[in-house]
Structure 1
């Protein structure tokens, strides 16, 4: 099994000049969301107090993070209480890389969806996110089975709903790639990236579609994951947040897929996702399709 590490440690820049790690994590989270297009040019940012509540940080910490983002030209401070996203200058030049299927996995809060959106903005390929495609139906199915709509931990979800959820995800991906469109598929893929047979079947099917498949794993430090999960405030994360220490003890941050893959490091001290995404595309363009 081979892996390619694409993250480099940051040694300078506005975020590194911040006094504390929490400011760095908040600034990085918002930077990734702006560069992924989740936060759009001209959009009014939540208030400092709201961001503090979302991230579990102090108002002072949020203000320091905002200062760094303003230095980077990503946020305009119009007043003490009003900040505007500035991203028009980030309009990416779409790569001419040949289309392929990218399967992007990682734990909750690792930044895999943001990476997927950035890659899509850089390539023009389709983004196919598991939660976007399946969540409404999954919630209804769970309720029909007598479980909470936010359940992602019980045997009911794991044995009855999850397999169909991933079946729908991959069917959607193959419907796009069969038409020759590149696909960026984002999901945890925790079981799937442990299963060499499943990965081999997907690779063969994508090959039948005429596209090569690449596996990408997004790694992240625990504190950055917590910042991401807190800020997005999704109902499906409630159990994780309520039992965070136990959740962290149950997962393996050293996990890597069982096949050749690329690693993106979304830890606070690593390069921004956009830089790593651009290098990933350049790396893939150099590798002939099998």
Structure 2
């Protein structure tokens, strides 16, 4: 059976991690969170340049130098698992790559993923709910988002994933209860048959 690669996208605070972990547990996927993989190194790297270790939003050094390194690391780890036949969930925004319509084709070519089934699972959330979640979790890395709320929301609305040759599934996660069975039914047959 072909391994599935789920690009789990959505705003910070949308509930990507919760959904990703539930799906990974249910279907025995490898779950890779970019923050967990990269934050320690990224924080130290930012500090060497005189920035706060949490300074990503609006930071040109992070955007121009560090971000690509983070995503390359994430994708390399994903590739190791996919080559072993293990399906993978990537928990990362990928916003900086949404404008590249051939992004998925490029990854397929680079990594030889002709036998991989790529899927985008976009997690949407009501903006009022999102703001409250960010305030409630109280993370330093969310400070810029909350202090520049209108610009942050504008950015979310402006960033549309233009990737071609990939299935896009959307889930509204504004409610506190996620219907995992209903979400699973929308995923490719290869996903729903794993772990059964």
Q: TM-score, normalising length from structure 2?
A: 0.84
Q: Moved runs in structure 1, 4+ residues, more than 4 A?
A: none
Task: Give the match for residue 174 of structure 2.
Answer: 267
Question: 1:177 aligned to 2:108?
Answer: no
Question: 1:111 aligned to 2:18?
Answer: no
2:103 maps to which of 184, 195, 198? 198
- More relative contact order, 1 or 2 (CA 8 Å, 6+ apart): 2
The size of the alignment, in residue pairs, is: 188
Q: TM-score, normalising length from structure 1?
A: 0.59
Deviation at 1:172, TM superposition (A): 0.9
* Partner deviation per Cα, 1:40-71 (whole Å, 9 max, x = no partner): xxxxxxxxxxxxxxxxxxxxxxxxxxxxxxxx
Which has the higher Rg, Structure 1 or Structure 2?
A: 1
Change (3 A) 1:273 1:189: farther
CA distance in structure 2 between the partners assigned to 1:234 and 1:185 by the alignment = 21
Secondary structure of the equivalent of 1:196? coil
Deviation at 1:160, TM superposition (A): 1.1
1:134 maps to which of 38, 60, 68? 38
Runs of at least 5 residues in structure 2 that lack an aligned partner in the other structure: none
Change (3 A) 1:108 1:276: farther
Change (3 A) 1:238 1:175: same
Deviation at 1:253, TM superposition (A): 6.8
CA distance in structure 2 between the partners assigned to 1:276 and 1:169 by the alignment = 28
1:258 maps to which of 142, 149, 163? 163
Change (3 A) 1:206 1:123: farther
CA distance in structure 2 between the partners assigned to 1:266 and 1:111 by the alignment = 7
